[in-house]
Structure 1
Amino acid sequence: MDKVTTLCSLWRLSLKDGTIYRFTDHDDLVIFGGETYVLNDSAEAGVSESQAGFSVDTGDIRTRVNLPDLSPQAVREGALDGAKISAYRHDWSDGTTQLLSQGRVGDIRFSENVIEVEWLGQTSLLNRSTGRLFSGQCDAQFGDNRCGLNAADFPAKTNCPRSFDACRDQFDNSANFRGFPHLLGDDVLQAGVGDRDRRDGGSRYA
């Protein structure tokens, strides 16, 4: 028997709420790791790409949105946000299984009654921003607890440009400004020292 014909794919989709879906493109149930992978004859692996180093591995799975308790509307509302996905190659003739990729769900696209689920490799987590970003602009939302103002006290559609000047002059709220107005930009960092510049180590904003 041709060895290739004994191979099938397994996918394990783990949602943030603890729900786990297991499915295969084989024509029968597959038992692997004590778990049952059910037939989903519309599932297929899409294009995938593995990268060396810290580049992000990507790929996708196409499957009809007929998984139990997972409606198309639920998917659109974020049911798959943050979900983890694992893909395996399984040989049903001898039970050997190879892990092909592990990652998380990325973009989700719809086409009629089919969803295309993109997976992102583990290195994609290195691209996430953690903690605060240092910026000259305020990162609070106008009227939230960090801003300290009550948006209802201002005319409808009042817009805050999130600049220090606006926070100080327009809203008299500079004490709650959540940015870094004196953060040096690339232009300053790359500029040379002028003949008239102070060189005493003091603040240039004093």
Structure 2
Amino acid sequence: MTGLLEHLGTGVTTTCRAWALTRRDGVVMGFTDHDRLLAFEGIAFRPDTGLSALALQQTTGLSVDNTEALGALNDAAIREADIEAGRYDGAELRAWLVNWQDVAARRLLFRGSIGELRRAGGAFEAELRGLTDALNVPLGRVYQKACSAVLGDRDCRFDLDTPGYVSERPAEEVEENRVFRFAEMGGFAEDWFRHGVLRVLSGAAAGLIGLIKRDRTEGTGRVIELWHPLGAKVMPGNALRIEAGCDKRRGTCQFKFDNLMNFQGFPDIPGDDWTITDPSKAPRLDGGSRR
């Protein structure tokens, strides 16, 4: 930082901007608006990606910093198929001002994540959200009859790798990237995977997940149907992991998962009808004697 301030103080500068993008699947990509490759922090920042950023808005206090990044879709950098697959959703992004003659002289200007991402005409536009954006997330428990935990998380504590709750198998027939048909899936009752998760472990869609809408038998076969199509093509033979589903009810937690001790709902909480019921159904409601 000191080196950069001294450089800026000379009045004749050799600065550029650099961005590092880290996807949730661990892929790290570097970009710069300089005309040659830069490298620092173990990242190579490429000049041929066409990525640029609009003016960065930064404020003091807890208001949200924001900016936008623009760029051209490039098979060697950011591909349209990866955007469609959601691989950049929630990706972390850092932006520096760098002296390209001495990359040790740099300053981190922005750190945040990608919000809304739009693409059109061979280009993309990404909204960047600062770290304070996380303060917009509601915190605290919700008092409701259904369980508020996600199956297998730290509140639920159920081990999904328990035998009988996961099926790992290759894809067989795939329709519209949403309906998966299997010739046989013995050992699992019908509807066992409804409300569960289908994870793709290999192929072009590796790392993508889909929420299961229906799980039904069809003759001697089995059909798993997702709520929405996956963002990348799933081919027969690609490895899948299909996890049992939970409908958040106490009976399901008790009898399907034997996990009632970790149930995070309030099944005995009174409903709205009870809370607004009149204290008496007698004609007189003035608090006096009913004689």
- Report the TM-score when normalising by structure 1: 0.64
Q: Determine whether 1:47 maps to 2:55.
A: yes
Task: Count residues with an aligned counterpart.
Answer: 163
State how far apart, in whole Å, the 2-side matches of 1:30 and 1:127 are: 35
What is the Cα deviation at residue 110 of structure 1? 1.3
Partner of 1:100: 109
Aligned to 2:56, the other structure's residue is in SS state coil
Write the letter of the residue equivalent to 1:125. A
Q: Which runs of 4+ in 1 moved over 4 A?
A: 134-144, 175-180, 182-185
Q: 1:43-68 CA distances to partner (integer Å, 9 max, x unpaired)?
A: 21113211221111111111112153
Q: Determine whether 1:181 maps to 2:291.
A: no
- Report the TM-score when normalising by structure 2: 0.47
State how far apart, in whole Å, the 1-side matches of 2:90 and 2:270 are: 31
Q: Which runs of 5+ in 1 are unaligned?
A: 150-174, 186-194, 197-206
Aligned to 2:82, the other structure's residue is in SS state helix
What is the Cα deviation at residue 26 of structure 1? 0.4
Structure 1 residues 179 and 139: CA distance shift in structure 2, 3 A: farther
Structure 1 residues 181 and 50: CA distance shift in structure 2, 3 A: farther
* Alignment equivalent of 1:109, drawn from 109, 118, 123: 118
What is the Cα deviation at residue 125 of structure 1? 0.7
| Larger helix proportion of the pair | 1
* Alignment equivalent of 1:63, drawn from 71, 79, 85: 71
What is the Cα deviation at residue 72 of structure 1? 0.8
Q: 1:111-131 CA distances to partner (integer Å, 9 max, x unpaired)?
A: 311111111111111111345
Q: Determine whether 1:19 maps to 2:27.
A: yes
Partner of 2:127: 118
Structure 1 residues 50 and 136: CA distance shift in structure 2, 3 A: farther
Q: Determine whether 1:88 maps to 2:96.
A: yes
Partner of 1:145: 247
Contact 2:20 2:29 in 1 (8 A): yes
Aligned to 1:48, the other structure's residue is in SS state coil
Structure 1 residues 8 and 177: CA distance shift in structure 2, 3 A: same
Q: Percent identity?
A: 27
Write the letter of the residue equivalent to 1:146. K
